[in-house]
A = this chain, B = another copy of it.
Amino acid sequence: MGTTQLESVPEPKYWHLKTVIGEALDSDFAVGEILPNERELAARFGVARATLRQALEQLELEGRLQRRRGVGTTVAPPRVGVDVSTTQHTWPGVAEETWQSMDASSAVAPPAVARLLDIEPDEQVHVVRRLRVTQEQPVAAELLYIPSGSVPELNVTDTPTGPARARVVLRELQRLALDGQDRAVELGSARADDAKELDRLPGAPVLVVTTRYLSEGRTAAVSVATYRADTCRLTFGDSGDLVMAS
């Protein structure tokens, strides 16, 4: 006949497609394998390419696929569990190999960050840029905002640039007593610069982790870390081996 059973419930085509392809991924494909290109897949399923792309987009959002321009669409490995637990009560940069210091500079903090730090919107702060690398892959880009009030003795005029300067700022911060920290997670889209470092296109979905470092009753520093939402699962506590699938 030709038409199947989906007249009664007009489930969107892309939703149905997503299910079909998802099942095919489980049974017929291995991690890292390359799928047929979009034009061929669309033809094979008898839909427009835009519709096929809507299905692929969802699968990529769920971490099942990975698409790279000029290369192709591949089956993604399971998401990596990234520990962001707050139990380790230390300042950033203390004996950590997970984060890689990039550089440090001075700039005015974004309004939302200035509010968290309880400083004037136009006040200059130190900004340390770091990159989190797990299993050779960049998973997060961080901006750490430190008001000069938190590191009064820091003199940046005679310090070098690049990673060395970042380490100087972090070392100065570590002289403070850390009373506690706060964390919040929300969905965002990657800014152009973050996207570049994470090897994604601008606007890619990211998990934004905002951390407030508290010292002597004040917010001594604020970190805004953007994690690749497609490849990361953020874990809290000792659940590093937690594995989920939708």
A236 touching B233 by the CB < 8 A rule?
no
- Within the complex, the shortest CB–CB distance from A108 to chain B, in Å, comes to 15
* CB contact between A183 and one of B208, B232, B237 (< 8 Å): that residue: B237
A187 partner residues in chain B, CB cutoff 8 A: 61-63, 187, 205, 207, 229-230
* CB contact between A210 and one of B61, B212, B244 (< 8 Å): that residue: B244
B62 touching A188 by the CB < 8 A rule?
yes
- Within the complex, the shortest CB–CB distance from A226 to chain B, in Å, comes to 10
Q: Residue A245 at the B interface, CB < 8 A?
A: yes
* CB contact between A182 and one of B112, B205, B238 (< 8 Å): that residue: B238
Q: Chain A contact residues (Cβ within 8 angstroms of B): what range?
A: 35 or more
Q: Residue A203 at the B interface, CB < 8 A?
A: yes
Q: Residue A202 at the B interface, CB < 8 A?
A: yes
Given contacts A63-B186, A184-B239, A224-B244, 9 further A-B contacts (CB under 8 A): A79-B186, A81-B184, A86-B236, A112-B243, A183-B235, A185-B207, A185-B236, A186-B207, A189-B246
* Partner-B contacts on A (CB < 8 A): 15, 18, 58, 61-63, 79, 81, 86, 110-112, 115-116, 180-189, 191, 202-203, 205, 207-208, 210, 212, 224, 229-230, 232-239, 242-246
